[in-house]
């Protein structure tokens, strides 16, 4: 059996990927809220051999793998796998696959949009215009400014290209220290602190891990220019929440464009929503019809290849 335990909000049910999966085995899709509770996620998976993971709020913990011994594959729709205990998966004989790169161009485009929205104060101007005002705000021009890109995967490289396309100088940092990869993206390789000091815009595209949790904290924010903009379309936990709130509240950086948060959905009373210079979107940078279609099909293709004994896009394989 193939189970989709977390199709909420629903994108899988009734899709071309759903139809394709039904040709492989019985498919059970849960499009109701609840997969964020471990006991309910365990109940939904049951004796299924394969789970297609749609939402990051469904956490595949060691407890889930222990309670679902029949589970042999978790096929993740998307790149991030921080909601999966990869060590526990491998030890329990579970293969984990993802769909890297499918949403790359859409996410980079969204990161650029957030950058421009903050720099040009679009949300503020729009709000004041709708209130009958005629604001004369001073805006930030990005031509000739410096963009610092952390992470040189497909999204980061695309963001570098978009930055160059509007006339920005691009600095790049790779977790692997791959300077050739950075240069191939048209960026200048730099150290972390050097980028933070020089960049007018800092855009985060690193994968969340133990090493990158809190990648930007009080120390890093203190290095940034008071006119700098922080853009995060990666994961909320890449940035220390309290440090960011303080930096924004005290105007130690100009603003932030955020698509990801420590708690999702973001509570209506979260203090970040009341801060000036912040533009938010609800973790939907890759939410385009093209990305949804292609990503879901890719997730099912990974199921097909697993069943054929030739798994692809493998993040972790069973420990033998």
The span from the CA of 156 to the CA of 78, in Å, is 16
**C-alpha triplet 296, 107, 140: angle, nearest 5°:** 165
Of 264, 293, 301, 305, the active-site residue reads 264
Which residues fall within 8 angstroms of residue 22, CB to CB, at 6 or more apart?
none
Say whether 264 is catalytic. yes
Show the tokens assigned to 158: 């695309």
Select which of 92, 157, 158, 283 is catalytic: 283
Structural contact between residues 182 and 229, judged by C-beta atoms closer than 8 angstroms: no
| Residue 110 is a catalytic residue | no
HEC assignment per residue over the chain: CEEECCCCCCCCCCCHHHHHHHCCCCEEECCCCCCCCHHHHHHHHCCCCEEEECCCCCCECHHHHHHCCCCCEEEECCCCCCCECHHHHHHCCCEEECCCCCCHHHHHHHHHHHHHHHHCCHHHHHHHHHCCCCCCCCCCCCCCCEEEEECCCHHHHHHHHHHHHCCCEEEEECCCCCHHHHHHCCCEECCHHHHHHHCCEEEECCCCCCCCCCCECHHHHHHCCCCCEEEECCCHHHECHHHHHHHHHCCCCCEEEECCCCCCCCCCCCHHHHCCCEEECCCCCCCCHHHHHHHHHHHHHHHHHHHCCCCCCEEECCCC
Active site (annotated) includes residue 235: yes
Distance CA 285, CA 258 (A): 10
Which residues carry out catalysis?
A: 235, 264, 283
């Amino acid at each position: 059996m193939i189970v989709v335990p977390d199709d909420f909000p629903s994108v899988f049910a009734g899709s071309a990927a759903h139809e394709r999966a039904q040709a492989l085995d019985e498919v059970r899709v849960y499009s109701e809220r609840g997969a964020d509770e471990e006991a309910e996620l365990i109940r939904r998976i049951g004796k299924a051999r394969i789970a297609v993971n749609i939402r990051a709020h469904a956490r595949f913990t060691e407890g889930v793998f222990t309670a679902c011994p029949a589970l042999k594959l978790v096929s993740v729709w998307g790149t991030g796998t921080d909601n999966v205990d990869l060590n526990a998966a491998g030890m329990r004989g579970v293969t984990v696959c993802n769909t890297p790169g499918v949403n790359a161009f859409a996410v980079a485009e969204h990161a650029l949009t957030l950058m421009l929205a903050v720099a040009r104060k679009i949300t503020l101007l729009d709000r004041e215009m709708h209130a009958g005002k005629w604001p004369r705000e001073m805006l930030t021009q990005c031509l000739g400014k410096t963009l610092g890109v952390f992470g040189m995967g497909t999204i980061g490289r695309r963001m570098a290209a978009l930055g160059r396309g509007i006339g920005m100088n691009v600095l790049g940092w790779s977790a692997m220290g791959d300077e050739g990869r950075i240069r191939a993206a048209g960026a200048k390789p730099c150290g972390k602190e050097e980028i933070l000091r020089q960049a007018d815009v800092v855009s985060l595209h690193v994968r969340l891990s133990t090493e990158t949790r809190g990648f930007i904290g009080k120390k890093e924010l203190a290095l940034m220019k008071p006119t700098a903009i922080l853009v995060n379309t990666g994961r909320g936990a890449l940035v220390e929440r309290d440090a960011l709130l303080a930096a924004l509240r005290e105007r130690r950086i100009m603003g932030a464009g955020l698509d990801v948060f420590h708690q999702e959905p973001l509570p209506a009373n979260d203090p970040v929503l009341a801060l000036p210079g912040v533009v938010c979107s609800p973790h939907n940078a890759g939410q385009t019809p093209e990305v949804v279609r292609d990503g879901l099909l890719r997730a099912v293709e990974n199921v097909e290849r697993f069943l054929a004994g030739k798994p692809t896009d493998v993040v972790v394989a069973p420990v033998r």
